[in-house]
Amino acid sequence: MEAVLRAEDIHVTYPNGVRANVGVTLEVRGGEVLGLLGENGAGKTTLVKVLSGLLRPDKGRIIYMGREVVFNTPRDALRLGIILAPQTPRLFPGLTVAEDVGLTMRLAGRGMGLQEVRRRLREISREYGLGVDPDARVWRLSMGERQRVNLAKIIMLDARVALLDEPTTHLTPMERRSLVQVMRRMASEGRAVVFITHRIGEALEACDRIAVMRKGRLVGVVERGEASREQLLRMMFGDYTPSKPSRRSGGPGAGRVLELVEVWVRGPHGTWAVRGASMSVEEGCVVGVAGVAGNGQRELFETVVGLRRPVRGRVLLMGVDVTRAPPLARRRMGMAVIPEERLGWGLVPGRSIVFNIAFAHAWLDGGFMVDWQSYRRLAEEIVSAMKVKARSVEDPVDSLSGGNMQRLLLGRELLRGARLVAAMNPTAGLDARTAEAVDSMLVEAASRGAGVLVFSEDLDELMTISDKIYVMSRGRLHGPFMRPFDYKAVAAAMTAG
Amino acid sequence: MNPAAIMLTGLSEATPLLLAALGEMIVERSGRVNLGVEGMMAVGAAAAAYAGVYTGSLAASLAFGALAACLLALVYVVAVVILGLDQIVVGLILVFMGKGLADIIGSWAGGAPGTPLTPIPGLGIDLVETASLALPPILWLILYHSWLGVELRAVGEDEEEAAARGINVRLVRGLAVLVGAALAGIGGAYVADAFHYGRWFSGVTEGLGWIAIADVILGYWHPLGVLAACYLTGLLFAVKPLLPVLGVPAELVDAAPYLAVLAAQVVATVICRRLGLTPPASVWWGELTG
């Protein structure tokens, strides 16, 4: 197979001194799925940003079809058919899917009428099984759905090189499997697909060749047939080997921390998002809510937290009816919240670590004056206890990596001694080591007696840490499924009506 | 007065608001708020009167109104769109600059009658009113059914992403501000030409610019919504003098239009959210998280 795109001796150093790419040379061939495997911070995203024109390397060359090219803007790469689907898809919230896709088509020099865009999107969606509705407004789509929009966009643009940055982040096991099929199919059409992932299993399943990166360097490239799990692990982590957090045995306690009784909730559009959901979370117990994104999990989570009021049904916290109680009252009762958006909901962007600790605590602590001294000490305690990598607690939270943000957030929420922990996709986008740490912290909170409610799109993760699992599908809760879990039964419930 | 006459008066009162509000809607769809509508309307009215007095041509009067407002809006384009200064401060500067400039230009016209705008015989409404009624559907087509409109809205949704995809954000936004200014200028010109025989006096457009901004919000940043909002406001203006006759206490008469607008705002918000319509994200992003 011929090399379509070749990165030669790419060097990138960020202004903060991080050497993200150190002499990376990599070849992408037409008709293959090339895995780019590595931990968070290994330099995978930096490399594809360089290849897609989003970032100019300090040194190095990009060769496209045997010719050296220089990308000044992403549009230059787009015109050659090199397209990047970022890990967190960024679409225009107020536009429809067709408008968003059509806009990119136009800017890529392949403009067509809106009707034509809608027709072709529908075709592609059906053909590849993407479930994309061209007339849906972007702001109502889940991250998983937005990811599928980006895939449809890549197919529509007839990309020669598709760079997929952690496309499985927001997908469920079934969706992941169908994504693998989509990638294989794109490769069989002669396209080059670069598949970034930190999951070895995925890489082995989907890729023809696997390139492993560690700390900004390319460690090596292995062919599909020659790659073994152990070898890839060694290449990714060096001497370190991650392990799954183990769930201690022992049944759930008697006390119900959270109980939902026949809860009906409307979504932002006024339609029913949650249809008569009943569930309970016992103390000392991890309860998982699985399901494909966009089946009402978000609305249910917001109902538990107190941001959305159910139209019918009751929410009980520690046996007390809190259906009409605001989030602050629930937090005072011992509720901790780990939202999906670490920055923006969990943490205030642009503000310091101290501010973010104080901000969450001051409302609970009451009083008129803010005791910055004590919050500074608290922030330092949290940072050291949670091993947050930060130069100073006065640094803005934005300067932290995703994993460190999540550590900080967990520290703030859990170290108070929460009785109910509500977490939405707590490990999304984190590397193996951090995800493992986050899961262990949630399990640990449960062993200290808290009831932990985890919404996740990662069924494997839920099966590892949960005592019982509910499955959400089209606004209804199925289950509970108890340990030991029957994978097939749980997965089947995901597609139930 | 019979209902038909009230409707006609309402339509006439609504016309300058509609022009200015549609212009501001275009600006806000591009992701900026130009608070200088009041100033642009004032300058538009003064320039229209001046041009009307000296050329005697209605077309020249309206064109000068638009042109003067555009020139004033260039300040906004340079300061906010190109240099990135604060849009609120610059918008307010436009208000004061516009009123000051209007007093100077208007004094050149000397308070003489210029080019009055009269209803088309047999139709009961004038040319500008007719055109302004055609404008909302046209803008709706452009905003929601042309790529130009999609680009404009994309810039207003997320300018970083728009720039990353290769849209020239400053160009789109700069043009939006100028088109918005031209419409506000014609709105001001209409006030002088249709309500005062092309005559100008200080404060002739007083307050209309602010109401236009409110009508953009009331109309939920949608051309047809803005049309409804402006017509409602215009009708309230037309009905207001009749209220004391109907026995409504004087204190309530002054408050009535605003109370009605408040009620309309609630209804409009509920309806628009059910329809899935959203304000431009970068201007009123708070709406989306509620």
Residues of A in contact with B280 (CB under 8 A): 94
Work out the pLDDT band at B13, boundaries 50, 70, 90.
very high
Question: How many Cα atoms sit within 13 Å of A434 on the Cβ side?
Answer: 23
Report the side by side order of strands in the sheet with A3-13: A19-29, A3-13, A59-64, A67-69
Considering only CB atoms, B154 lies closest to which of A78, A95, A139, namely A95
Q: Is residue B170 part of a domain?
A: yes
What's the gap in Å between the CA of B167 and the closest CA on chain A? 8
Residues of B in contact with A137 (CB under 8 A): 276, 278
Q: Is residue B48 part of a domain?
A: yes
Q: Which residues of A touch B (CB under 8 A)?
A: 54, 73-75, 78, 90-95, 99-100, 102-104, 106-107, 111, 114, 137, 139-140, 268-270
d(CA B73, CA B173): 12
CA-based nearest residue to A175, from A286, A94, A295: A295
Q: What is the mean pLDDT of residues B2-17?
A: 90
Q: Bigger pLDDT: A339 or B276?
A: A339
Q: For residue B284, what pLDDT is reported?
A: 61
Q: Which of the residue ranges A79-88, B21-30, B172-181, B273-282 would you say has the lowest mean pLDDT?
A: B273-282
User: Cα dist. A490→A180, A481, A482, A484, A487 in Å?
Assistant: 21, 7, 10, 11, 5
d(CA A452, CA A436): 16
Encode pLDDT of B46-56 as tens digits. 999 999 999 99
- B7: Cα separation from own chain's centroid: 20
- A10: Cα separation from own chain's centroid: 28
Sequence letter at residue A99: E
Encode pLDDT of B186-214 as tens digits. 999 999 999 999 899 999 998 899 999 99
Q: For residue A368, what pLDDT is reported?
A: 80
Q: Which of B148, B273, B278, B285 to mutate to test the interface with A (most CBs of A within 10 A)?
A: B278
* Per-chain mean pLDDT for chain A: 87
The pair of structure tokens assigned to A356 is 């973010």
- Find the radius of gyration of the CA atoms of chain A: 23
What's the gap in Å between the CA of B271 and the closest CA on chain A? 10
Question: E strands along A332-467, which residues?
Answer: 335-338, 420-424, 451-455
Q: Using DSSP bridges, classify how beta strands A312-317 and A272-282 pair: parallel, antiparallel or unpaired.
A: unpaired
Q: Is residue B209 part of a domain?
A: yes
Q: Do A103 and B164 touch (CB under 8 A)?
A: no
The torsion region of residue B112 among left (phi > 0), alpha (psi -120 to 50) and beta comes to beta
Q: For residue A269, what pLDDT is reported?
A: 60
Is residue B280 less than 8 Å (CB to CB) from chain A?
Answer: yes
Q: For residue A241, what pLDDT is reported?
A: 60
The pair of structure tokens assigned to A24 is 């990376």
d(CA A155, CA A173): 22
Is residue B145 less than 8 Å (CB to CB) from chain A?
Answer: yes
List of residues 6+ apart from A356 with CB closer than 8 A:
A347, A348, A397, A408, A412
Q: Bigger pLDDT: B150 or B119?
A: B150
Peptide bond into A242 cis (omega under 30): no
CATH number of B207's domain: 1.10.3470
d(CA B43, CA A413): 56
CA-based nearest residue to A449, from A262, A254, A203: A254
d(CA A132, CA A141): 10
Q: How many domains does chain B have?
A: 1
User: Cα dist. B81→B31, B157, B169 in Å?
Assistant: 10, 16, 9
Q: What separation, in Å, do the N-terminal and C-terminal C-alpha atoms of chain B show?
A: 44
What DSSP element (H or E) covers A33?
strand A33-37
Backbone angles phi, psi at A164, to 5 degrees: -105, 110
Q: Do B162 and A269 touch (CB under 8 A)?
A: no
Please say if the pLDDT value at position A291 is more than 60. yes
**For residues A168 and A176, is the Cβ–Cβ distance under 8 A?**
yes
Please say if the pLDDT value at position B136 is more than 60. yes
Residues of A in contact with B162 (CB under 8 A): 92
Q: For residue B246, what pLDDT is reported?
A: 81
Encode pLDDT of A92-141 as tens digits. 988 999 999 999 998 888 889 999 999 999 999 998 888 899 999 998 78
Encode pLDDT of A316-359 as tens digits. 999 999 999 999 899 999 999 999 888 888 898 889 999 999 88
Residues of B in contact with A271 (CB under 8 A): none
What's the gap in Å between the CA of A327 and the closest CA on chain B? 14
Q: For residue A461, what pLDDT is reported?
A: 85
> B10-23 in b/e burial notation, b at 16+ Cβ within 10 A?
bbbbbbbbbbbbbb
Backbone angles phi, psi at A482, to 5 degrees: -105, 160
Q: Coil, strand, or helix at residue B42?
A: helix
Residues of B in contact with A93 (CB under 8 A): 157-158, 278, 281, 288
Please say if the pLDDT value at position B183 is more than 90. yes
Q: Which of A82, A84, A95 to mutate to test the interface with B (most CBs of B within 10 A)?
A: A95
Residues of B in contact with A54 (CB under 8 A): 164
d(CA B65, CA B106): 12
Residues of A in contact with B274 (CB under 8 A): 269-270
Encode pLDDT of A35-50 as tens digits. 999 887 788 999 999 9
How many Cβ atoms sit within 10 Å of the Cβ of residue A24?
A: 24
Q: What separation, in Å, do the N-terminal and C-terminal C-alpha atoms of chain A show?
A: 45
Residue B36 class from Cβ within 10 Å (0-12 exposed, 13-18 middle, 19+ buried)?
buried
Encode pLDDT of A398-446 as tens digits. 888 888 899 999 999 988 888 999 999 998 878 777 888 899 999 989 9
Q: For residue B286, what pLDDT is reported?
A: 43
Residues A413, A419, A424, CA angle at the centre, nearest 5°? 55
The pair of structure tokens assigned to B49 is 């009167």
Q: For residue B285, what pLDDT is reported?
A: 47
d(CA A182, CA A156): 13
CA-based nearest residue to A177, from A209, A201, A194, A213: A201
CA-based nearest residue to A151, from A173, A171, A174: A171
Domain that holds residue B123: 3-284
Considering only CB atoms, A111 lies closest to which of B147, B161, B278, namely B147
Residues of A in contact with B151 (CB under 8 A): 103
Residue B121 class from Cβ within 10 Å (0-12 exposed, 13-18 middle, 19+ buried)?
exposed
The pair of structure tokens assigned to B104 is 């100077």
Q: Is residue B82 part of a domain?
A: yes
List of residues 6+ apart from B26 with CB closer than 8 A:
B139, B152, B176, B179, B180, B183
Please say if the pLDDT value at position B290 is more than 50. no
Encode pLDDT of A204-259 as tens digits. 988 999 999 988 899 999 998 888 888 888 888 876 665 655 555 455 556 899 99
Q: Do A107 and B280 touch (CB under 8 A)?
A: no
Sequence letter at residue A341: E
Residue A8 class from Cβ within 10 Å (0-12 exposed, 13-18 middle, 19+ buried)?
middle
Q: Is residue B112 part of a domain?
A: yes
Encode pLDDT of B61-83 as tens digits. 999 999 999 999 999 999 999 99
Q: Is residue B126 part of a domain?
A: yes
Q: Is residue B289 part of a domain?
A: no
Residues A103, A108, A111, CA angle at the centre, nearest 5°? 60
Q: Do B147 and A75 touch (CB under 8 A)?
A: no
Q: Is residue B110 part of a domain?
A: yes
**For residues A448 and A437, is the Cβ–Cβ distance under 8 A?**
no
Threshold 0.80, pTM exceeds: no
Please say if the pLDDT value at position B176 is more than 90. yes
**For residues A410 and A338, is the Cβ–Cβ distance under 8 A?**
yes
Q: Do A95 and B158 touch (CB under 8 A)?
A: no
Residues of A in contact with B156 (CB under 8 A): 94
d(CA A259, CA A281): 6
**For residues B222 and B271, is the Cβ–Cβ distance under 8 A?**
no
Considering only CB atoms, A103 lies closest to which of B150, B156, B280, namely B150
Is residue B278 less than 8 Å (CB to CB) from chain A?
Answer: yes
Q: What is the mean pLDDT of residues A312-318?
A: 94
Residues of B in contact with A102 (CB under 8 A): 147, 150
Encode pLDDT of B100-134 as tens digits. 999 999 999 888 888 888 888 888 889 999 999 99
Q: Bigger pLDDT: B179 or A224?
A: B179
Q: Coil, strand, or helix at residue A72?
A: coil
What DSSP element (H or E) covers A279?
strand A272-282
Please say if the pLDDT value at position B153 is more than 60. yes
Please say if the pLDDT value at position B287 is more than 70. no
Encode pLDDT of B214-267 as tens digits. 999 889 899 999 999 999 999 988 888 888 888 878 778 777 777 887 888 888
Is residue B281 less than 8 Å (CB to CB) from chain A?
Answer: yes
